[in-house]
């Protein structure tokens, strides 16, 4: 194997990654997004390749079936539903983690061949407000600038963005520039975050106060600057926007929760600095006023002509690796492919002609929240979910659960079998994952990069594009899905972008409409548009022309509007939800890496001291909204504002139990974009006494723990084992709530009077699991000490005593370490070989031995060979 250049599958920075022949992952020095840098998640990519609960064959109602049968079933279910209930009774719910080629064919199948708008994506939860705001302002979903603008700016404003954790490499570039040129950084976020650490000014805005804040700035700029001086002929709408903003000026301080002094300091800096970039992310988008927030930000750039030139402009930081690529092919229910308009007859005709179809969908489909509500109401007969975990990531997750229960046929394409959504599917389709699949992604600066495969497809696994095309063919659209591979799809996508495009659609990559397979393989990162016969264009709008009918950008009048929800009960606090540095969404990949789990191992609820009452840090708290409740560990901190609490979105039923925040979150949506209000839920909190705690140590693979009342269970990957920590407000007298390995023998010691339970599960001469629980005032053994006991030989009576003591009662003979990188012993390796690991890869997948420096590989091969001879 030679060196492979590919792109990180996590955030929208879109860093280039290099994989060397030994499997080592490093940052690609030549990639213009990162120039060699990687963050903690990117550099741990090598550790996410061997997923413990990898889905390796299609499964219908839990039974493994062949791909042919699986695809026949999908096609039959779709065809039946369409015949009986019409095209709008089927839907695809995709993801910004699909590659553009996957997305293109999914969208072609739904909006083209089937003729329904019901193709939406998790980008609805992520970028929909930006899309709507950019379309209103520029006439197209277009990010004008480049990452290098951040390095050339003198003032960078970060709004609702924890850039340091969520776009870490972009943040590193900004900090390096700050060190060089003294860039001022203003962070607008209700919370103090890692990003506020380096800020020149942190404006702890009242949640939802962003429109008021930027409207105030607009008025300040009008009053103190010759606004519009450059862009006089390029923008319209300033007067109306000014009038609306002025009407609310009196309540500026109340609406923003900020003092005049703070506000005017920022306004003054903005007015005096020509080179200003405003980066915005989910604190802006995930709001019932998200689209207005986006326009309020764009307005100040348009009004002052701070756009289209080096070092200035609004910059939407996209979340997922391909959030923008998905939009280019019409991934949202209100879009068509290639930035064509679903509401435009001419656009629909153009697309139907290009796809050689009689017609395409002529009205927008259901947006994510509405789609799942419709499914819960029995209106969707077949739903195909790809590369997303809506059981966790959609608000009011109870509706999602009902939707999955009520919908007669739910298909989930994923790489893992145990995601909270996958466990509810009727049909599971095993998808190719990062490193196995090929295609393109577009990052936040419109840069299209290749994702390349560097591993062969595991048996039974297929890339998403292939599964979609096969279903398309079975539904009678052979001609439309005659693609041999991603290069064919990309070529068609490029051709469509240029088809009858007279310059009206800025998204145009027709220069690549004839790209050969070899050139596609070698395609270097470039920014769209790349029109036929031209060079790629990095910075847009330099000429002051916008893709609107009159060529002018729109300054959109927006009025401040607080988030509204009147709770049924008294809910004195506002819940904000955010992300951690080292976890990716629902943790299906990052949640298996020990070192990524160490940064913030438990799900916390951050509570301001003024709101804490007698709640102490470390205590179990219940957070309740009108929609649901969750159990978290209290962290009393003044990082947030009084009256607001914050939790992270990551924990799931698969990685624990009780801490899932989705069921609590507000499903209200922005009226324009349909994006949910994920950062603003009225809640109440209640401390729970911790009466009982437990520790379960499990050998591979991890399990999904059952739900137990008032019990928080949190999984943590630790060297060679899965550790589950239980915190309960009552004595869990029923040990059956603990996920014990089936078919195991138990050695146990239960002291009912003192409330102590200890057991070891033994199977095939191996310790499979250990469970220790005790009342909260008693100490449990260390997880590390218990993990070491997994290596003991349980048939030795002395060792059994050690198991129940939770420590070694006598010094066990130490087995020599073979793999130094991960501390794997000869005994562990021999056990694994006896348990069926017949290759170094299998050993590596199970124990990780040999997967880092590789020095022990010859010894591992020797041990496998030796075992084979002994057993022959």
Ligand X SMILES: Nc1nc2c(c(=O)[nH]1)N[C@H]1C(S)=C(S)[C@@H](COP(=O)(O)OP(=O)(O)OC[C@H]3O[C@@H](n4cnc5c(=O)[nH]c(N)nc54)[C@H](O)[C@@H]3O)O[C@H]1N2
Please, what is the minimum distance in Å from the beta carbon of residue 429 to ligand X?
Answer: 7
Q: Kindly identify the residues of this chain, within the stretch 60-99, that bind ligand X according to CB under 6 A.
A: 95-97
DSSP 8-state secondary structure symbol assigned to residue 617: T
Among the listed residues 167, 207, 126, the one whose alpha carbon sits nearest the alpha carbon of residue 15:
167
User: Is 464 an interacting residue with respect to ligand X (CB under 6 A)?
Assistant: yes
Neighbours of 179 (CB within 10 A): 10
Of the candidates 452, 509, 448, the one whose C-alpha atom is nearest the C-alpha of residue 33 is: 448
Which CB, 417 or 788, lies closer to ligand X? 417
Task: Kindly indicate which of the ranges 77-85, 139-147, 200-208, 853-861 contains the residues binding ligand X, using the contact rule CB under 6 A.
Answer: 200-208
Q: Binding Mo ion by CB under 5 A: which of 71, 81, 126, 276?
A: 126
Whole-angstrom CA distances from 784 to 116, 239, 716, 780 are: 54, 66, 12, 12
Cα separation of 48 and 39, whole Å?
A: 15
What minimum distance in Å lies between the beta carbon of 141 and ligand X?
Answer: 16
Count of residues that interact with Mo ion, criterion CB under 5 A? 2
Looking at 123-131, 459-467, 548-556, 722-730, which segment touches Mo ion (CB under 5 A)? 123-131
Among 5, 41, 401, 474, binds ligand SF4 (CB under 6 A): 41
Taking the complex as a whole, how short is the minimal distance between the CB of residue 671 and ligand X, in angstroms?
Answer: 17
Task: Show contacts with ligand SF4 in window 274-303 (CB under 6 A).
Answer: none
Could you tell me which residues are beta bridge partners of residue 656?
714
Tell me: does residue 15 bind ligand SF4 (CB under 6 A). Answer: yes
Binding mask of the shown chain, residues 24 to 43, with x at each position contacting ligand X by CB under 6 A: -----------------x--
Partner whose binding site includes residue 828, from Mo ion, ligand X, ligand SF4, none (CB under 5 to 8 Å by kind): none
Whole-number minimum distance, CB 228 to ligand X, in Å?
A: 26
Q: Which stretch binds ligand X (CB under 6 A): 25-33, 302-310, 413-421, 800-808?
A: 413-421
Q: Of 5, 6, 10, 432, which one interacts with ligand SF4 (CB under 6 A)?
A: 10
Output the smallest distance, CB 167 to Mo ion, in A. 11
What sign does the CA torsion over 176, 182, 183, 188 have? positive
Q: Minimum distance from CB of 243 to Mo ion (Å)?
A: 35
What does the longest C-alpha to C-alpha distance in the chain come to? 89
E strands in 415-499: 427-430, 439-442, 447-451
Which CB atom, from 668 or from 792, has the smaller least distance to ligand X? 668
For ligand SF4, the binding residue among 39, 164, 199, 289 (CB under 6 A) is 39
Kindly give the interhelix angle for 857-871 and 826-834, rounded to the nearest 10 degrees: 50
Query: Residue 313, interface with ligand X (CB under 6 A)?
Result: no
Between 169 and 631, name the residue whose CB sits nearer to ligand SF4. 169
Q: Is 441 a residue that touches ligand SF4 (CB under 6 A)?
A: no
551-568 burial by CB neighbour count: b if 16+ within 10 A, else e? ebbbbbbbebbebebebe
Closest CA to 287 of 554, 555, 562, 630: 562
Q: Quote the tokens at residue 637.
A: 């901190």
Nearest-CB residue for ligand SF4: 42
State the Cα–Cα distance between residues 493 and 731, nearest whole angstrom.
59
DSSP reduced 3-state for 205: coil
Of the candidate spans 32-40, 108-116, 660-668, 837-845, the one that interacts with ligand SF4 by CB under 6 A turns out to be 32-40
CB-nearer residue toward Mo ion: 319 or 525: 319
Per-residue x/- marks for ligand X, 736-765, CB under 6 A? ------------------------------
In this structure, are strands 711-718 and 620-624 parallel, antiparallel, or unpaired?
A: unpaired
Q: What is the distance between the alpha carbons of residues 477 and 470, in angstroms, rounded to a whole number?
A: 9
Residues 6+ apart with CB under 8 A from 398: 627, 628, 663
Burial of residue 2 (number of CB atoms within 10 Å: 0-12, 13-18, 19+): exposed
* CB atoms closer than 10 angstroms to residue 686: 12
Cα dihedral 48→54→56→59 (10° resolution): -150
Count of positions (residues) in the chain:
872
CA-closest candidate to residue 669, choices 564, 739, 755? 564
Dihedral angle over CA of 345, 350, 351, 352, nearest 10: 80
Among 342, 426, 410, CA closest to 62: 426
Residue 159 binds ligand X (CB under 6 A):
yes
- Number of residues near ligand SF4 (by CB under 6 A): 13
388 binds ligand X per the rule CB under 6 A: yes
Binding site partner of 661, from ligand X, ligand SF4, Mo ion, none, Cβ cut-off 5-8 A by kind: ligand X
Name residues contacting ligand X, limited to 277-306 (CB under 6 A). Answer: 281-283, 286-287
CA 350/CA 500 separation, integer angstroms: 8
Contact 679, 667 (CB under 8 A): no
- As beta bridge partners, residue 212 has none
Return phi, psi of residue 774, to 5°: -160, 160
In whole angstroms, how far apart are CA 142 and each of 14, 75, 440, 799?
17, 36, 18, 65
| 192 makes contact with ligand X (CB under 6 A) | no
Least distance (Å) between residue 416 CB and ligand X: 5
Cβ of residue 38: shortest distance to ligand SF4, in angstroms?
4
Task: Give the x/- contact pattern for Mo ion in 306-325, rule: CB under 5 A.
Answer: -------------x------
Q: Give me 181's structure tokens.
A: 């040129």
**Residues 132-191 close enough to bind ligand SF4 by CB under 6 A:** 168-169
Task: Pick the binder of ligand X from 93, 104, 138, 165 (CB under 6 A).
Answer: 165
- From the list 65-73, 204-212, 482-490, 565-573, the region that binds ligand X by CB under 6 A is 204-212
**Minimum distance, C-beta of residue 519 to ligand X, in the bound complex (Å):** 24
Residue 546 as a binder of ligand X (CB under 6 A): the answer is no
Q: How far is the CB of 511 from ligand X (least distance, A)?
A: 27
Q: Least separation, in Å, of the C-beta of 121 and ligand X?
A: 9
With tokens 């629980």, the residue in question is 773
Residue 140 binding ligand X, by CB under 6 A: no
Q: Give me the residue whose beta carbon is nearest to Mo ion.
A: 319
Question: Binding string, 421-440, against ligand X, x = CB under 6 A?
Answer: ----------x-x---x---
Q: Does 93 bind ligand SF4 (CB under 6 A)?
A: no
The two tokens of residue 531 are 């029109």
Pick the closer one to ligand X by CB: 281 or 381: 281
Nearer residue to ligand SF4 within complex by CB, 581 or 691: 581
E strand or H helix that includes residue 19: strand 16-19
Contact residue for ligand X among 178, 191, 348, 450 (CB under 6 A) = 191
> Which of ligand SF4, Mo ion, ligand X, none is residue 8 near (CB under 5 to 8 Å by kind)?
ligand SF4
Q: Which of 563, 552, 489 minimizes the C-alpha distance to 520?
A: 489
- DSSP letter, residue 113: I
Instruction: Tell me the two tokens of residue 340.
Output: 């064509």
Sheet holding 201-203, edge to edge: 201-203, 184-188, 155-159, 276-280, 313-316
Q: Quick one: 34 or 727, whose CB is closer to ligand SF4? A: 34
Residue 736 CA to residue 727 CA, distance in Å, equals: 16
- Tell me whether residue 8 or residue 302 sits nearer to ligand SF4 (CB atom): 8
Classify the C-alpha dihedral 823-826-828-830 as positive or negative.
positive
Q: Rule CB under 6 A: which residues touch ligand X?
A: 11, 41, 95-97, 122, 125-126, 159-162, 165-166, 188-191, 193, 205, 207-208, 210, 281-283, 286-287, 319-320, 386-390, 392-393, 413-416, 419, 431, 433, 437, 464, 576-581, 583-586, 588, 649, 661-662, 665, 678-679
Q: Rule CB under 6 A: which residues touch ligand SF4?
A: 8, 10-11, 13-15, 34, 38-39, 41-42, 168-169
Q: Rule CB under 5 A: which residues touch Mo ion?
A: 126, 319
């Amino acid at each position: 194997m030679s060196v492979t250049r590919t792109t990180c599958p996590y955030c929208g920075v879109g860093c280039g990654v290099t994989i060397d022949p030994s499997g080592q992952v490093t940052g690609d020095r030549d990639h213009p997004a990162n120039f060699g840098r990687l963050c903690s998640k990117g550099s741990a990519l090598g550790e996410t390749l061997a997923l413990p609960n990898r889905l390796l064959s299609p499964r219908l109602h839990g039974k493994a079936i062949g791909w042919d049968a699986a695809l026949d079933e999908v096609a039959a279910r779709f065809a039946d539903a369409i015949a009986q209930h019409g095209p709008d009774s089927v839907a695809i719910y995709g993801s910004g983690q699909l590659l553009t080629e996957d997305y293109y064919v999914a969208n072609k199948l739904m909006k083209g061949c089937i003729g329904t708008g019901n193709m939406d994506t998790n980008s609805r939860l992520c970028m929909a407000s930006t899309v709507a705001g950019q379309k209103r302002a520029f006439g197209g979903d277009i990010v004008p600038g480049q990452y290098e603008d951040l390095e050339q700016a003198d003032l960078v404003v970060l709004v609702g963005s924890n850039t340091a954790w969520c776009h870490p490499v972009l943040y590193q570039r900004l900090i390096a520039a700050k060190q060089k040129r003294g860039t001022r950084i203003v962070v607008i976020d209700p919370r103090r975050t890692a990003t506020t650490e380096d800020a020149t000014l942190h404006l702890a805005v009242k949640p939802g106060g962003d429109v008021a804040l930027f409207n105030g700035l607009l008025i300040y700029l009008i009053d103190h600057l010759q606004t519009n001086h450059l862009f006089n002929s390029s923008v319209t709408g300033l007067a109306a926007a000014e009038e609306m903003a002025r009407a609310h000026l009196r309540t500026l301080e109340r609406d923003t929760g900020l003092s005049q002094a703070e506000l005017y300091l920022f306004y003054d800096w903005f007015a005096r600095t020509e080179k200003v970039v405003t980066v915005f992310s989910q604190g802006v988008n995930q709001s019932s006023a998200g689209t207005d927030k986006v326009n309020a930000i764009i307005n100040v750039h348009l009004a002052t002509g701070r756009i289209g030139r080096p070092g200035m402009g609004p910059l939407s930081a996209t979340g997922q690796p391909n959030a923008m690529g998905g939009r280019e092919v019409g991934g949202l229910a209100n879009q068509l492919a290639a930035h064509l308009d679903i509401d435009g007859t001419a656009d629909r005709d153009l697309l139907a002609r290009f796809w050689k179809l009689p017609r395409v969908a002529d009205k927008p489909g259901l947006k994510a929240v509405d789609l799942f509500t419709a499914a819960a109401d029995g209106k969707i007969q077949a739903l195909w979910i790809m590369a997303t975990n809506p059981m966790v990531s959609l608000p009011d997750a109870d509706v999602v659960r009902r939707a999955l229960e009520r919908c007669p046929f739910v298909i989930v394409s994923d790489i893992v079998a145990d995601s909270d959504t996958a466990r509810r599917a009727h049909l599971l389709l095993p998808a190719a994952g990062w490193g196995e699949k090929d295609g393109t992604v577009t990052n936040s600066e419109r840069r299209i990069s290749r994702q390349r495969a560097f591993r062969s497809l595991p048996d039974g696994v297929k890339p998403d594009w292939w599964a979609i095309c096969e279903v398309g063919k079975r539904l009678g659209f052979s001609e439309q899905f005659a693609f041999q591979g991603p290069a064919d799809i990309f070529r068609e996508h490029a051709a469509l972008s240029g088809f009858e495009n007279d310059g009206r659609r800025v998204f145009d990559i027709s220069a690549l409409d004839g790209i050969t397979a070899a050139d596609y393989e070698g395609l270097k990162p470039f920014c769209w548009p790349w029109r036929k016969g031209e060079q790629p264009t990095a910075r847009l709008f330099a000429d002051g022309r916008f893709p609107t009918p009159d060529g002018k950008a729109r300054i959109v009048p927006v009025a401040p509007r607080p988030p509204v929800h009147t709770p049924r009960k008294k809910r004195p606090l506002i819940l904000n939800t955010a992300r951690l540095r080292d976890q990716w969404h629902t943790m299906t990949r990052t949640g298996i890496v020990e070192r990524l789990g160490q940064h913030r191992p438990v799900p916390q609820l951050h509570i301001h001291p003024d709101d804490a009452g007698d709640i102490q840090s470390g205590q179990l708290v219940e957070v309740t909204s009108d929609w649901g409740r969750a159990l978290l560990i209290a962290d009393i901190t003044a990082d947030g504002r009084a009256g607001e609490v914050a939790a992270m979105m990551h924990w799931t039923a698969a990685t624990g139990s009780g801490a899932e925040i989705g069921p609590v979150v507000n499903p209200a949506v922005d009226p324009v974009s349909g994006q949910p209000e994920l950062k603003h839920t009225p809640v109440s909190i209640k401390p729970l006494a911790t009466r009982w705690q437990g520790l379960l140590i499990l050998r591979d693979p991890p399990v999904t723990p059952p739900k137990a009342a008032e019990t928080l269970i949190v999984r943590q990957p630790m060297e060679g084992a899965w550790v589950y920590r239980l915190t309960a407000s009552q004595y869990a007298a029923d040990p059956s709530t603990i996920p014990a390995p089936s078919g195991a023998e138990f050695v146990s010691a239960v002291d009912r009077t003192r409330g102590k339970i200890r057991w070891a599960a033994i199977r095939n001469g191996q310790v499979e699991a250990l469970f220790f629980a005790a009342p909260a005032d008693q100490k449990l053994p260390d997880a590390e000490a218990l993990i070491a006991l997994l290596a003991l030989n349980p048939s030795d009576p002395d060792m059994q005593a050690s198991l129940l003591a939770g420590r070694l009662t006598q010094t066990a003979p130490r087995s020599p370490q073979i793999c130094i990188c991960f501390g794997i012993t000869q005994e562990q390796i021999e056990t694994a070989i006896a348990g069926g690991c017949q290759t170094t890869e299998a050993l590596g997948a199970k124990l990780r031995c040999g997967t880092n420096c590789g020095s022990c590989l010859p010894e591992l091969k020797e041990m496998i060979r030796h075992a084979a001879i002994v057993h022959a």
